[in-house]
Amino acid sequence: MRIIGFAAGVAVSFLVGSSAEAAPPVEAFGSLPAMSHPHLSPDGKHLAAIEPVNGHPDILVFEVGSPAAKPQAFTGADWVPFDLRWVNNDRVVVMLKVERTRNERTGRRVRAFARAIALSVSGKPQVLMMNNQRLVEINYGTARVIGVDPQHSDSVFMEAWDWNKELPTDTKLVKPDLELNLFRVSAEDGKADLVEEGTTKTIDWILDAQGNAVARLDQDSDLQTTVYVRDGAHTWRSAFTFDSSAGSEDNVLGTTADGGTLAVERHGNRNTWGIEGYSLSGSSFGAPLFANSAYDVADYTQDAWTNAVVGARYYADKEESAYFDPRLQSVQSALEKALPGETVDIVSWDQAREHFIVATESPREPRTYNLFTHTGGQFTALATEFPNLQATDLADMKPYNYAASDGTTIHAYLTLPPGKAAKDLPTVIFPHGGPEVRDGLGFDWWAQFMASRGYAVLQPNFRGSAGYGWDFTKASFGQWGTGKMQGDITDGVKRLIADGIADPKRICIVGASYGGYAALAGATFTPDLYACAVSYAGLADAGSVLGNAAKHQGQDSEAVYYWRSRLGDSSNDPAYLASISPARHAANVKAPILLLHCKNDLTVPIDQSILEESALKNAGKNVQFVPIDGDDHYMFNAATRIEVLKQTEAFLKAHIGN
């Protein structure tokens, strides 16, 4: 536990257990976070969070002022909570993923459903939000809460597709037009009442602090998105338009605290993405609310009680936070001063802004949630995500930047195994997924696990990684397979060898999702570089990216245009797609490969690993395939994570030692 006093100077104390003689067990790394997504109730008396029960994520509600009181648990075997939001002091809305991987009648794969339910602290029945029959019937997703309603304390605002006219009795003869409408939804009975009617082109709604719809986004068939703003009580006018076809579009986040300005994520005349304000009265963009010349905005912070956008997050090396709201910025600055070098993230506060949930993190400190009380400056640890790991169990993680073959700077992070000199180490190259995400300085359960087993771990932010500006993103277009994205990873391996850190005969590449593709591409297109490769949910055939997007969202969808831009000008050429697909070049492979894939994966279907295994077996290669039951792409269950780590550990030990 850590206690920090803000009133009369700053005092910090750590109570840390002694280091275990042996590396921590796999369960210490692979268990689900002991707490995530904590949110305070409006009065600050209750804390709701996602916590694991028997290895499955569920909802627990705690009394903040009574640490010894037993929490209320809300469980469901067939749903996975992924976020939550308080409506009032009794009701909390929980967003759930309800997965159905096979249609009971046809046996065909269908997508997961997203739903929201309202739970009650006082014991009232839980209700399904938007339970009006036809709304749920025609919507795969009814889980997005876009704002609270200050005029109705039991209600929130949500979006859903609805028919724009009454259907005839025989609906088989008519294909109904759907429009995205805005609804006020009661957390007491789950009923949805229409507030604003959209069009068949509407894709989003924006609210102000009073719960009024002040902007509407419509998208044409050519993927031009127009932002409409209020021009009187019942009319709308066009404010500005942006192109959504290339994945470089603006993103309207919400309004600022005054309600008169839209907060818009855009890069404008800059290379990096920032947050700019669009004046509803002046009909123009003003000075940026947040901008950084080197790094993109990574996320934004919204006030749960006013719907206002109040701040931004970005990565330099570690995650940083900046607020437009002076009160929140003063709290952030005080916490950062008291906790130098740590990531400090204000994740929730009560309506009075007296009590705050603050997350702290560093590479050797898993994310820890703390209760900060502004009056008196009390700062008390509540829970850490990985309670069975001590700082002495974990490894140092440092920036390890290097130049790619064309001189481009690649930002990377190197985690060295505890107690070992940085010389001739068995090494894991660990590229991230996405590909448009990034790694940073912070606790990484998978990287730390591999380091605890004696391996150096390199995490490169190759071209196309998020956070470094639009030019860095565009530099990855058409650069899959043997291109610069994989080349940046290869150059990191060469740098480790040149620096004497990596043993060139004991290097393995491990990755998940796009990182799994990169692992297969590394073993396939640079077969002499790696002694083994591990792919979790990796893509084996590049053409399937476009095929899946077209199948599920339409040939002219934003997703198809996005992937066409990323795969490059030759994305229509089957020969090019084959040239960057590992499964089409299995004969090149020399190193043993481990394939791990969840059977219920709806993001990268398990068919990809089945295809890769078949290609490798037909080519007479050394391949091991482990399909995993009962989970999907994102490893929501502890048993999945533990199995993945166990399989990875055994495979690494067999092929590069430790």
Strand 425-429, strand 456-461: pairing: parallel
Where are the strands (E) in 187-260, listed by range? 192-196, 202-207, 213-219, 224-230, 236-243, 251-255
pLDDT at 170 over 80: no
What tens digit of pLDDT does each residue of 429-453 get?
999 999 999 999 999 999 999 999 9
The mean per-residue pLDDT over the stretch 533-561 comes to 81
Separation between Cα atoms, residue 502 and residue 448, nearest integer Å: 17
pLDDT at 644 over 80: yes
Distance of CA 92 to the CA centre of its chain: 22
261 pairs with which residues across the strands? Answer: 279
- Measured N-to-C along each axis, helices 484-498 and 514-525 cross at an angle, to the nearest 10 degrees, of 70
| pLDDT at residue 222, as a whole number | 86
Side chain identity at residue 631, one-letter code: D
What tens digit of pLDDT does each residue of 229-272 get?
988 777 899 999 988 877 777 899 999 998 889 999 998 888 99
pLDDT interval class at 100 (50, 70, 90): low
Strand 113-120, strand 141-142: pairing: parallel
Cα angle at 199 between 198 and 200, to 5 degrees? 130
What tens digit of pLDDT does each residue of 561-604 get?
888 888 888 888 899 999 999 999 999 999 999 999 999 888 89
- Measured N-to-C along each axis, helices 445-452 and 638-656 cross at an angle, to the nearest 10 degrees, of 40
Separation between Cα atoms, residue 121 and residue 130, nearest integer Å: 20
Contacts of 654 (CB under 8 A, 6+ apart): none
Percentage of residues in the chain having pLDDT higher than 70: 91
| pLDDT at residue 66, as a whole number | 80
Q: With contact defined as beta carbons under 8 Å apart, do 555 and 530 qualify? A: no
Q: With contact defined as beta carbons under 8 Å apart, do 92 and 84 qualify? A: yes
pLDDT at 29 over 70: yes
pLDDT at 75 over 50: yes
| pLDDT at residue 209, as a whole number | 87
Percentage of residues in the chain having pLDDT higher than 90: 72
Separation between Cα atoms, residue 453 and residue 647, nearest integer Å: 13
pLDDT at 559 over 90: no
Two structure tokens written together for 209:
């602090």
| pLDDT at residue 429, as a whole number | 98
What tens digit of pLDDT does each residue of 182-226 get?
999 999 999 999 999 999 999 999 999 889 999 999 999 888 899
* Eight-class DSSP state of 443: -
pLDDT at 105 over 50: no
pLDDT interval class at 283 (50, 70, 90): confident
pLDDT at 522 over 70: yes
| pLDDT at residue 449, as a whole number | 97
The single residue listed with the structure tokens 């005092």 is 11
| pLDDT at residue 8, as a whole number | 26
pLDDT at 648 over 90: yes
Class of residue 403 by CB neighbours under 10 A (exposed 0-12, middle 13-18, buried 19+): exposed
pLDDT interval class at 54 (50, 70, 90): confident
pLDDT mean across residues, the chain: 89
3-state DSSP helix/strand/coil percent for the chain, to nearest 5? 20, 35, 45
The domain covering 395-542+580-656 belongs, at the CATH homologous superfamily level, to: Alpha/Beta hydrolase fold, catalytic domain (3.40.50.1820)
pLDDT at 62 over 60: yes
Contacts of 652 (CB under 8 A, 6+ apart): 426, 428, 450, 453, 455, 508, 510, 532, 534, 658
The single residue listed with the structure tokens 């507030």 is 195
pLDDT at 15 over 70: no
Q: What is the pTM of this model?
A: 0.91
pLDDT at 493 over 80: yes
| pLDDT at residue 13, as a whole number | 28
Q: With contact defined as beta carbons under 8 Å apart, do 157 and 130 qualify? A: no
Give the residue with greater pLDDT, 176 vs 640: 640
| pLDDT at residue 165, as a whole number | 61
Give the residue with greater pLDDT, 463 vs 22: 463
Element (H, E) at 473: helix 470-474
Give the residue with greater pLDDT, 336 vs 168: 336
The single residue listed with the structure tokens 């998940």 is 512
| pLDDT at residue 442, as a whole number | 95
The mean per-residue pLDDT over the stretch 82-109 comes to 76
| pLDDT at residue 552, as a whole number | 64
| pLDDT at residue 553, as a whole number | 67
| pLDDT at residue 175, as a whole number | 55
The mean per-residue pLDDT over the stretch 393-400 comes to 96
| pLDDT at residue 174, as a whole number | 53
